[in-house]
């Protein structure tokens, strides 16, 4: 078992206290948005025992490229409205930018790599998100309840897809008389009329242990909360609103799916007294283990990564992660919530 040192990302939307508190360290005043445990070039985890050596060892040098990234995420305010490409779209987009000579660290770079980025969020705290679009009927009802009658009329005329594109293009609509909870959360931090988009989307509230899954093209923004995030090993994000990062609306419209989606929540399936799994179509498997005593795990896939979301189980304390090689068995003792991701 290789204990890991993750890479902290201090994005502006991050929570200043949630992740430091989880890790039992002193907050330093910066926003702590994400801690990455993976091998992606933009955030390569190190083998923890090597961090004090002259040349620390990176996980990728020990095990090769992982097909997923496991993150601890803490949002104090809404993230950008975004979507992620399919593999085919990522290959094409990355190829275009490479051919055009766009620097990999350029602010207007959209495609960091040529891979898809399916992602699952499992809540550690109460977590809220906007995920995918509702039916025309549900959107009209939400608009009418908010007093956004001109948006409701646009949905009647052009459907949710047409209304969503109009909102994101910045077309003028009257301010609603009774903004929805999600709209208020967006406007508290961004004061942006494009918050009307919330009336057309699923507003999901998760309790700890509950999950949502986003496949390619799904439009979403996370509003607040702390979670374990598991995603394909990619950093491709196509943004449309609520951010100071680069927005590419034509590419967003080309990648995003504006059709109605079902409720994006994933209900865990109990597989033992302590273990539940979260089924999805991504090429990774996510499981939660509620440990109280002794827990044994044998890694039966090529790559397995464990992250502790709460408590302590042996050397794996809250916020810590470890890699387990295929065929290796580990025994953890303690009281903790552990997530394993494998592929």
Residue 304 domain flag: yes
Residue 277 domain flag: yes
Q: pLDDT above 70 covers what percent of the chain? A: 100
Q: Between helices 149-169 and 136-146, what is the axis angle to 10°? A: 110
Residue 337 domain flag: yes
Residue 209 domain flag: yes
Residue 321 domain flag: yes
| 19-25, Cβ contacts within 8 angstroms, sequence gap of 24 or more | 19/72, 19/74, 19/226, 19/319, 22/72, 22/74, 22/124, 22/226, 22/310, 22/318, 22/319, 23/318, 23/319, 24/317, 24/318, 24/319
Q: Compute the half-sphere exposure of residue 341: CA atoms within 13 Å on the CB side of its CA.
A: 28
Q: Are 286 and 256 part of one and the same domain?
A: no
Q: Report whether 212 contacts 279 (CB < 8 A).
A: no
**pLDDT digit string (tens) for 62-78?**
999 999 999 999 999 99
Q: Are 288 and 330 part of one and the same domain?
A: yes
Q: Report whether 220 contacts 130 (CB < 8 A).
A: yes
pLDDT reading at 179 higher than 90: yes
**pLDDT digit string (tens) for 86-123?**
999 999 999 999 999 999 999 999 999 999 999 999 99
Residue 243 domain flag: yes
Give the pLDDT score at 51: 66
DSSP alpha helix (H) spans, 122-207: 136-146, 149-169, 181-190
Q: Are 338 and 210 part of one and the same domain?
A: no
**Which of 251, 266, 281 is the last residue before a domain boundary?**
266
Give the pLDDT score at 49: 80
Average pLDDT, integer, range 35-53: 90
Q: Are 338 and 208 part of one and the same domain?
A: no
Q: Are 335 and 223 part of one and the same domain?
A: no
d(CA 124, CA 127): 8
Give the pLDDT score at 86: 97
d(CA 215, CA 120): 9
Q: Are 213 and 273 part of one and the same domain?
A: no
Residue 167 domain flag: no
Backbone angles phi, psi at 186, to 5 degrees: -65, -45
Give the pLDDT score at 53: 74
Residue 178 domain flag: no
Tell me the three state secondary structure of residue 113. Answer: coil
Q: Are 209 and 312 part of one and the same domain?
A: no
**The CATH number of the domain where 327 resides is what?**
2.60.120.10
**Which of 266, 295, 317 is the last residue before a domain boundary?**
266
Q: Are 211 and 101 part of one and the same domain?
A: yes
Give the pLDDT score at 133: 98
Q: Are 338 and 281 part of one and the same domain?
A: yes
Q: Are 213 and 249 part of one and the same domain?
A: yes
Average pLDDT, integer, range 251-273: 96
Q: Are 246 and 279 part of one and the same domain?
A: no
In the predicted model, what is the mean pLDDT of the chain? Answer: 96
Q: Are 244 and 281 part of one and the same domain?
A: no
**Which of 212, 245, 266 is the last residue before a domain boundary?**
266
How many domains, the chain? Answer: 2
pLDDT reading at 11 higher than 90: yes
Give the pLDDT score at 158: 98
pLDDT reading at 52 higher than 90: no
pTM, two decimals, is 0.95
Average pLDDT, integer, range 244-259: 97
Average pLDDT, integer, range 254-274: 95
Give the pLDDT score at 128: 98
pLDDT tier for residue 56 given thresholds of 50, 70 and 90: confident
Q: Can you give the residue range of the structural domain that contains 247? A: 78-130+204-266
Going by the DSSP 8-state scheme, the letter that residue 77 receives in this structure is: S
Token representation of residue 166: 């109009």
**pLDDT digit string (tens) for 282-341?**
999 999 999 999 999 999 999 999 999 999 999 899 999 999 999 999 999 999 999 999
d(CA 101, CA 154): 40
């Amino acid at each position: 078992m290789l204990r890991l040192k993750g890479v902290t990302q201090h994005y502006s939307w991050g929570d200043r206290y949630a992740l430091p508190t989880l890790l039992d360290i002193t907050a330093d005043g910066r926003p702590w948005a994400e801690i990455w445990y993976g091998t992606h070039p933009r955030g390569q985890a190190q083998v923890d025992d090597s961090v004090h050596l002259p040349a620390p060892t990176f996980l990728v040098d020990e095990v090769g490229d992982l097909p997923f990234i496991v993150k601890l995420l803490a949002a104090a305010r809404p993230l950008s409205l975004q979507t992620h490409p399919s593999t085919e779209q990522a290959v094409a987009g990355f190829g275009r930018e490479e051919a055009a000579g766009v620097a990999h660290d350029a602010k207007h770079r959209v495609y960091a790599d040529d891979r898809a980025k399916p992602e699952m969020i499992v809540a550690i705290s109460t977590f809220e998100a906007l995920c995918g679009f509702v039916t025309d009927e549900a959107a009209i009802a939400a608009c009418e309840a908010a007093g956004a009658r001109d948006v409701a009329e646009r949905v009647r005329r052009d459907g949710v897809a047409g209304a969503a594109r109009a909102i994101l293009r910045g077309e003028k609509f009257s301010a609603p008389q009774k903004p929805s909870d999600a709209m208020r959360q967006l406007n508290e931090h961004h004061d942006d009329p494009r918050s009307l988009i919330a009336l057309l989307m699923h507003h999901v509230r998760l309790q700890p242990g509950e999950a949502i899954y986003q496949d390619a093209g799904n439009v979403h923004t996370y509003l607040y909360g702390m979670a374990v995030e598991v995603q394909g090993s990619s950093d491709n994000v196509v943004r449309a609103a609520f951010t100071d990062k680069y927005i590419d609306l034509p590419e967003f419209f080309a990648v995003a799916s504006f059709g109605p989606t079902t409720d994006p929540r994933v209900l865990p399936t109990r597989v033992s007294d302590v273990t539940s799994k979260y089924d999805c179509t991504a090429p990774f498997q996510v499981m939660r283990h509620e440990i109280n005593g002794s827990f044994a795990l044998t890694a039966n896939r090529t790559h397995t990564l464990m992250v502790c979301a709460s408590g302590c189980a042996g050397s794996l304390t809250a916020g810590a992660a470890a890699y387990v090689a295929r065929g290796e068995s580990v025994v953890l003792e303690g009281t903790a919530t552990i997530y394993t991701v494998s592929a």
